[in-house]
Amino acid sequence: MNSLLEVRGLSVGYGKVEAVRTLDLRVGEGQIVSLIGPNGAGKTTLMAALIGLLPCSGEVFYQGEPLLPHHDVAHRVGLGMALVPESRELFAPMSVEDNLCLGAFSRYRRGDRDYSGTLEEVFALFPRLKERRQQAAGTLSGGERQMLAIGRALMGKPRLLMLDEPSLGLAPRIISEIFTIIEGLRQTGVSILLVEQNARAALRASDYGYVLEVGELVLQGPAAELAEDPKVIETYLGRRATTTPTPQPA
């Protein structure tokens, strides 16, 4: 399978502190790849560097071509990369529809005027956003806000969608709805790099997974195999229920 994104020996630091160290990672065309790890592991830092928000060392290839330090965020978005940050970054007073249209801005600037067709595609994926198209983004529920953030990224017709903790702060029922949507995005041909602390849901939705701890990859493999790895089970999925209950003091 062709690589859409290939990262070799990537390091990212904040001053003298290296938050990501010599990391190798790959996202194949059409794949969903998850990156799991605890707070502070460097997951957000990695995504920020990939989209061009932070300087880094090492090599990044996108569609087989190197991404270079002078390729800024606008350039990378123009190549089809999109980031949905943990903070969602919606324009709260603006309507759902206007937030979505802003997601097509860089396409519009390049002369692509077909955003109304893409808007209908996004509404087909998220009927709830269509129902609320005139509602102010700031009044949406947490799950709807996440749908809007993903929908806005899709308005740019990305080839690589990077999602930073899409399940953060959501109720379990909404998390499963969001992950069903993420899995459904496969059909649209977009490849996904998914950063999550909810390892169970992420690995279930993914083809391949990486585990990042304190800036370094400690494990990787096909997602189904990682989900069976004893270290992943113990650290990220919680211990399996034992068949013999622990005796409780009377």
| CA 211/CA 227 separation, integer angstroms | 11
Nearer to ligand ATP, 208 or 210 (CB): 210
**Binding to ligand ATP, residues 195-224 (CB under 6 A):** 197
Among 1, 2, 14, 243, binds ligand ATP (CB under 6 A): 14
Q: What is the DSSP string of 135-186?
A: SBGGGS-HHHHHHHHHHHHHTT--SEEEEE-TTTT--HHHHHHHHHHHHHGG
Chain position carrying tokens 């993914």: 206
C-alpha count within 13 angstroms, C-beta hemisphere, residue 108: 11
Span of 1-9, 36-44, 76-84, 174-182 interacting with ligand ATP by CB under 6 A:
36-44
- Nearest approach in angstroms of CB 44 to ligand ATP is 3
Q: List the structure tokens of 161.
A: 């969608």
- Nearest approach in angstroms of CB 43 to ligand ATP is 4
Span of 34-42, 142-150, 199-207, 229-237 interacting with ligand ATP by CB under 6 A:
34-42
Which residues does 202 contact at the CB level (< 8 Å), separation at least 6? Answer: 34, 36, 194, 196, 209, 223
Among 9, 40, 66, 238, binds ligand ATP (CB under 6 A): 40
Phi, psi of 192 (to 5 degrees): -130, 130
Nearer to ligand ATP, 34 or 44 (CB): 44
| Residue 166 touches ligand ATP, criterion: CB under 6 A | no
| Residue 39 touches ligand ATP, criterion: CB under 6 A | yes
| Residue 88 touches ligand ATP, criterion: CB under 6 A | no
Span of 13-21, 107-115, 128-136, 141-149 interacting with ligand ATP by CB under 6 A:
13-21
Q: List the structure tokens of 85.
A: 């940050």
Count of positions on this chain that bind ligand ATP (CB under 6 A): 12
Beta partners for residue 219, in sequence order = 211
Beta partners for residue 217, in sequence order = 212
Where does this chain bind ligand ATP (CB under 6 A)?
14, 17, 19, 37, 39-45, 197
